[in-house]
Amino acid sequence: MPILSKGEHVWLDNTQGGEFDVPIGCVVKFSDTGQMQLVDDEKQEHWVSASNSDKIRAMHVTSENGVEDMIHLGDLNEAGILHNLLKRYNEESIYTFTGSILVAINPYQVFSIYGQEYIKRYQDKKIGDLPPHVFAIADNAYYFMKRGQRDQCIIISGESGAGKTESTKLILNFLAATSGQHSWIEQQIIQANPIMEAFGNAKTIRNDNSSRFGKYIDIHFTKAGVIEGAKIQQYLLEKSRIVGQAENERNYHIFYRMISGMSSKEKDRLFLKDAQHYHYLIQGNSLTCDGMDDSKEFALIKDAMKILTFSDEEQWSIWEQTAAVLHLGNIKFEEMEINNMPACRISNEDVVHTAAKLLQVNGTELIKSLTHRTTFAHGEVIVTPLSCAQALDVRDAFVKGIYGRVFIWIVNKINIVIYKEPPSRHETYLSIGVLDIFGFENFAVNSFEQLCINYTNENLQQFF
C-alpha cells in the first residue's frame, strides 16, 4: 500500500464499468499501514484497505487546486477535466479555458460579472490575460476579425440547460458595446432575441427556456469594426411540440404570454380564453414557469416588435394566426360511416368557423378540407372521406404548417430590418457568425426533430 500523508490528493478508481464512470478526486483524511480514509470531491468518505491499494494513484499537482486553462493539466483525461471543472464551479468560477475553447457551467443563479465594467475590462485583451469569461471569446473573435480582416465564427454547443442562449445574448451585447457606435441597428439586433425566444423557445423537463430551433446570427462589420447590420438563419424548428408536449413541459412561450399579456378586449377579438381551455397547451400539465412572468414578457415582446418596425397590422396578423392554432387544436372529430367507408364529422363546427375567421378563409371549405381528401386522377377529382385518426393527423399537420410559416415570416421580417446591403458590389462586410445550436435532450418519446438535434450536437462535439 502506498505511503500517503494526511492532506495529499489522489485519484480513487471505484468505477464499475459504467458508461459514465470515471475515477474521482480525493483527499487523504487518515492513513496507516493497513487502511486509508479518503474524502472525495462530493464530500463522501471512503475506506480503502491494503488489498485494494491498486485503486489509488497519485494526483498531479496541477489538479489539486484547479487551473484556468486545462491545457496546463498534468492529468489531461476525462477524470482530470471533470475534477477541474467541479473544483472551479464550487469556487463560483463558472468559466474555464481549454486553449481557445471556453467551457461554461450554468450556475442557475445571477452573477454580477456582465456589466459595462466587465465589458471594458475584457476589451483588447488576449485570451489568458484575464480570468476565463465569455467576453474573452467575443473579444478574441472581434480582435482577429479587425486585425486579419477575416470573418470569424463562434460556435456555442452543449446539452439543454447549459446556458447557450444566454451566452449568445452576452456575446451580442459585448460586440454591440465594443463596436462603439451605440446605434439603432445594434439595438435592433439585440431586440430580435426576445421575439425569437417567444416563438422558438419552450419549457422542457431540463430547461425552462429551451431553444427548440437552431439559429445562426451573422453580424456584419465595416473594415473599421463598426456594426452595420446582421442576418439570422433559423433551422429545424421543433414543430411536433406545437401539437403535443411531454409531462411537465409547455408549448412555445408565445401562446401563454399572449393569453396572459393581452387585454380582455384583445382576447375577445381573438375569441381567446384562459390557457387551460386549449388542448395544445394542457398536455404537459404545466401552464406556468417558475420565475417567469408571461404577462411582463409579452409586453417586452411588443416593445421589441416596435423597435424592429413591426406595424400594428403585422402584429395583429401574427396574433390572429397564433390564436387560430389554439382554436384548431380544440376541434373534435366523431366517427361515422359513409357508403360503408370509415369517415368522420366535426362535432363542434363553431370552433372551426372561429379559426376560419381568424385565418380569413371560408369555414365550410375548411371543414371539408379537414374531413376529406381530394385527389386528381386521369382528369377526375376524387373526394374521399377521412377516418378520425386521419383527420387528426391532417389537422395537426395543418397547424404545424401555419406555425412554421409564421415563424419563418417573423425571421424574414427581422432580417429585412437588420440587414444592410454593402455600399457597392465590389465591397463586402466583415462578419462574426454566432451559432446557437439547440441542446441535446433525451425524452421518454423522442421526435424526428430531436433525433436531428442530437445528431447535430454529436457532430459538433466531435469538432471540439
The burial of 131, by beta-carbon neighbours within 10 Å (0-12 exposed, 13-18 middle, 19 or more buried), is given as middle
24: its cell numbers = 474521482
Residue 194 and residue 300 in contact, taking contact as beta carbons nearer than 8 Å: yes
Give catalytic status of residue 112 as yes or no.
Answer: no
227: its cell numbers = 456594426
271: its cell numbers = 375569441
Give catalytic status of residue 446 as yes or no.
Answer: no
Which among 355, 362, 282, 353 has a CA at the least distance from the CA of 320? 355
Q: Which residues contact 95 (CB under 8 A, 6 or more apart)?
A: 102, 103, 104, 131, 132, 133, 134
Give catalytic status of residue 337 as yes or no.
Answer: no
Give catalytic status of residue 65 as yes or no.
Answer: no
- Rounded to a whole number of angstroms, the CA Rg of the chain reads 28
Distance separating alpha carbons of residues 206 and 196, to the nearest angstrom? 20
Catalytic residue, candidates 31, 96, 157, 160: 160
3-state DSSP assignment of residue 318: helix
Give catalytic status of residue 297 as yes or no.
Answer: no
Distance separating alpha carbons of residues 23 and 35, to the nearest angstrom? 19
Give catalytic status of residue 214 as yes or no.
Answer: no
Catalytic residue, candidates 140, 431, 441, 457: 441
Give catalytic status of residue 439 as yes or no.
Answer: yes
173: its cell numbers = 451585447
Catalytic residue, candidates 66, 161, 261, 284: 161
Helix-, strand-, coil-residue percentages of the chain, each rounded to 5: 45, 20, 35
Which among 48, 19, 416, 324 has a CA at the least distance from the CA of 10? 48
Give catalytic status of residue 449 as yes or no.
Answer: no
Beta-strand relationship, 9-12 and 24-31: antiparallel
Distance separating alpha carbons of residues 328 and 241, to the nearest angstrom? 15
Give alpha helix (H) positions in 246-382.
253-261, 264-269, 279-282, 294-307, 312-329, 349-359, 363-371
What is the phi/psi pair of residue 395, to 5°?
-60, -45
96: its cell numbers = 474555464
Q: Per this entry, what is the length of the chain?
A: 464
Catalytic residue, candidates 63, 96, 165, 204: 165
Active site positions, annotated: 160-161, 165, 207, 210-211, 439, 441
